[in-house]
Structure 1
Amino acid sequence: MDIVDSRGMTPLGRKTAETGINFTSTTHFSRGLTFIRTHPLFGQSPARRAVPQTLLLQENADPQKIAFLLRKQWTLYSVTPMYKFSYGLKGSDQDQVAILVQIASRSQLPFENAEDKVVWSGWFCCISGDELLESVSEDFTCLSLFLANGAESYTGIVGTWFQKTFDCYFSRLTISPLNLAWMAAMWTGCKVDSHITATELVFSVPCIPQSLDISYAIHPEDAKALWDTIQKTPGEVTQEEVDLFMDCLYSHFHRHFKIHLSATRLVKVSTSIASAHCDGNIKILNSKHLLGVLTLLTELAISHIQ
């Protein structure tokens, strides 16, 4: 696996003894990417989605790098196709890659083996994007989903460098209440063998002078049992099923607390698979469902840039 190391250089190319940027391919995914098209139309959610499968990473995936992606808060961005992207590392022409970018602070201590401290990380990917893509010039590389962990100022520096260098555009990827509801339903239906946690929904109630949040936690077995009574076709989820799942939860909450959650705004979803906030922050919790989560996020990123 090739590694391009440009430590000692900032993203804008200025020399420094304190920070550096490091590019490395994190893993390969057996999906091709050749296309980009408007899907779904006008950024709307589709009427049905395939259930995220427990996809296995290829054998050359580094378990340590996969673990690095888990249980960290990542901020989501969508990225337009990059022109003549020079770090598109692939194991073969059919492979799709994830690219990890890191900024490190170099230690000032006079030790030869002193390790640099990573202060910011970001990674590009585009999982199962082949179903949403249409032909673009071979001069362009489509890595539509970007996730950042660290100070927003570093994200701005890296984003500016990529935009100037590869003629692309970064935009913050927020998650609508509708897509959060999809996540709640789809992730509740996923099989998890360990580290099972409650399904928690957070709703925002606009109030004056300040807003009020309502947290609604459902025992994972109860949430899964409810979903199993709703889902009609194994392997796919429909908008009708998502709506019914949420309506059942709303009715149960109203019966106990006399509060209409349908009048509030869903802002966060937490499950054993992942947690996601409407601001575009996500934390992936389960390695077996990593590709399923990234597939959905890739769809949202591609839809966002259309």
Structure 2
Amino acid sequence: MAYEFNHYYELQNVATGKYVNVLGNHEDGTVKNGETVNLFNRTNNPDQRWALENYGGNGNVRIVLQRGEGWYALNYNTRNANCIVWHLNTADDIDTVIAAVQVESLTDTYYLKLRDRDTYLTADGTALKWAAYTGEKEQMFTILEPGTSSDGSDSGADSDTPDSKLVTKFIPAYKDNYTKSRKAQGGTISEITIHHCASILTIEALGALWQREGRKGSSHYGISETNIGQYVHERDVAWTNGNWEANCRAVTIETSNSGGAPEWPVSDTTFQTLVTLVADIARRNDLGKLVKGKNLTWHSMYATTACPGPYLSGKLQELVDKANTINGF
């Protein structure tokens, strides 16, 4: 795999097997200048999602992650040569422009050298520093598609359950807010369950809720206007329905409201995005013709709740009819 620019990857250190990670708690989706970058076990968290931004060709890149509205680059701490992040708008080239140098003997593996300082990103235990060239494995980093291992396999995932290509942004839920491998739980996808957020939320704000340690909740998808967020892979079990058996068989969708109680309305644009996503999920998972109350369900069928709210509850048959029309039923 030759890396692509502006595509998210994980960076695995060859010596430690751990992943380049922004240290700290970023539940609100923000990162500050100067935050430490270290090595950590894989978390499926945005703090380990990095994109390589082309910077003038010849293998020169900035390695960046996006949190909130900001883009932050791997950066040289001039006080102690540690690796930190710095906002692109104020980052200095000398501290951020990296030459990615292919390691000849290892696939998709690179030395990451600061072009203007001639120092290399280096593992020091779980710390990351910029140091003189050694050529040792501590200075080698494999660029991986998120969720894959260094041999290219899908690290424990059920590869026969693909996700929607309609997704605007993947914002992975905290690892203890869902259950890995629907297949291992004896579950198969047989329905889609509709929820509402009981709030006006962006897909990023909903994602921040599912990234909160101790939240004990998640959804596969979230919709706000034309944007679709994904937080849990369809192959895994999201904790959304308040019912374990229903969670094991459902793909769940949280829908942002456009107003509050008592009706909890949803905008026309958000509703149409919901129709499109429901049709896509049904088609990919061979659910056939959707039937309200059978393979198209809603939260209050499984828990004592008013979710998905009066407005959306009144439009579920319309949702089924429009999704079925898209899929040719």
TM-score relative to the length of structure 1: 0.24
Q: Over alpha carbons, which structure has the higher Rg?
A: 2
Higher relative contact order (CA 8 A, sep 6+): 1
Question: What is the TM-score of this pair, normalised by structure 2?
Answer: 0.22
